[in-house]
A and B are shown apart, each in its own frame.
Chain A
Amino acid sequence: MKVRIHVSLKPGVLDPQGRAVHHALEGLGFSGIEDVRVGRLIELDVADGTSDADLDAMCRQLLANLVIENYRIEKLETA
């Protein structure tokens, strides 16, 4: 089973990287960009039947730092 973990900075946490990317996009001439936040995408290939509780524990214990980050678990249909 393929699982995508989307890790993003919590709202309110300053994102210097996002700000620099925002600035660079404007430098390329793109206008109307309100905000840019940079996150992380982690793709897991796990045994079918891996429980939601286990996926959640993986995020909490390692994949995300809950002081500054939120996470979202997306399970993909196996082809």
Chain B
Amino acid sequence: MSFRAAVVTFPGSNCDRDMAVALEKVSGTAPLRVWHGDAELPERLDFIALPGGFSYGDYLRSGAMAARSPIMQAVVRAAGRGVPVLGVCNGFQVLTESGLLPGALMRNAGQRFVCRMVPLKVETSQSLFTAGYEAGQIVHFPVAHHDGNYFADDETLDRLEDEGRVAFRYAEDVNGSQRAIAGVLNKTGTVLGMMPHPERAIEPELGGSDGRALFESAVRGLVRA
């Protein structure tokens, strides 16, 4: 009945604690903490979270170095076995750099670091992560990024839309992302990458609690399974 999650910390991660707190508050169990240099993940994981931050100082490209770190080889293998993976902000960049999600996150179109609460439209409720929302619902999550401008070629974007893999879209212009995409799912719906921070919106004291449903649906979906 317990929820066995792991939060990966890279050198330069800075939202790993927030992610761990959110997972513990919602599931009642503290997640295991994993370091980038570990070659293996703990066994029998229900959930893996890649947090926000500036892993490896954003050297080369955001997420590029982290995506080649020892632990990411293990994360890619676990994702292949169907273990759900959530990547937020820098975690999303790591997921695209590692090939678990299509596309790339480029410098914001306005060149500026964007740090504010933004409205998002939930595009699908048909996933482990978004089952707690209604499709079309508007939610508010904070963003804090410089490289959140989602890019993929038109063919890939069409495929993502046709397959219902756009999870969240910005409801206002934030960073120039193609088709205002804020979060995408992999083919099986078990890997979600998103720039906005659900873990920073889990209780009213933080400025909003719209992110809580994301963790709740994941925990509910996985504990039942």
Instruction: Check B111 against A20 for contact (C-beta < 8 Å).
Output: yes
CB distance from A43 to the nearest CB of B (A): 14
Instruction: Check A16 against B97 for contact (C-beta < 8 Å).
Output: no
A10 to B166 CA separation, bound complex (whole angstroms): 24
User: Chain A residues near B79 (CB, 8 Å)?
Assistant: none
- What does DSSP make chain B's interface, helix, strand, loop or mixed? loop
CB distance from A6 to the nearest CB of B (A): 15
Q: Among the listed A16, A62, A65, A68, which residue makes an inter-chain contact with B111, where contact means beta carbons less than 8 Å apart?
A: A16
CB distance from B131 to the nearest CB of A (A): 29
A20 to B111 CA separation, bound complex (whole angstroms): 8
Query: Quick one: which of B136-187 are within 8 Å of A by CB?
Result: 149, 151-153, 176
Tally the A-B contacts, defined by beta carbons under 8 Å.
36
**Binding-face segment, B15-23, B35-43, B101-109, B213-221:** B101-109
CB distance from B150 to the nearest CB of A (A): 11
User: Chain A residues near B109 (CB, 8 Å)?
Assistant: 14, 16
CB distance from A10 to the nearest CB of B (A): 9
CB distance from A9 to the nearest CB of B (A): 9
Instruction: Check B111 against A17 for contact (C-beta < 8 Å).
Output: yes
CB distance from A39 to the nearest CB of B (A): 12
Kindly state whether residue B11 has any CB partner on chain A within 8 Å.
Answer: no
CB distance from A42 to the nearest CB of B (A): 9
Instruction: Check A16 against B149 for contact (C-beta < 8 Å).
Output: yes
Kindly state whether residue A28 has any CB partner on chain B within 8 Å.
Answer: no
Kindly state whether residue B74 has any CB partner on chain A within 8 Å.
Answer: no
Q: Among the listed A20, A62, A63, A68, which residue makes an inter-chain contact with B106, where contact means beta carbons less than 8 Å apart?
A: A68
**Binding-face segment, B24-32, B48-56, B60-68, B117-125:** B60-68
Kindly state whether residue B110 has any CB partner on chain A within 8 Å.
Answer: yes
User: Chain B residues near A62 (CB, 8 Å)?
Assistant: 60, 64, 68
Give the B-binding residues of A (Cβ under 8 A).
Answer: 13-14, 16-17, 20, 61-63, 65, 67-68
26 sample A-B contacts, Cβ–Cβ < 8 Å, listed by A number: A13-B106, A13-B151, A14-B151, A14-B176, A16-B106, A16-B107, A16-B108, A16-B109, A16-B149, A17-B107, A17-B111, A61-B68, A62-B60, A62-B68, A63-B60, A65-B61, A65-B64, A65-B97, A65-B104, A67-B96, A67-B103, A67-B104, A67-B151, A67-B152, A67-B153, A68-B151
Give the A-binding residues of B (Cβ under 8 A).
Answer: 60-61, 64, 68, 96-97, 102-104, 106-111, 149, 151-153, 176
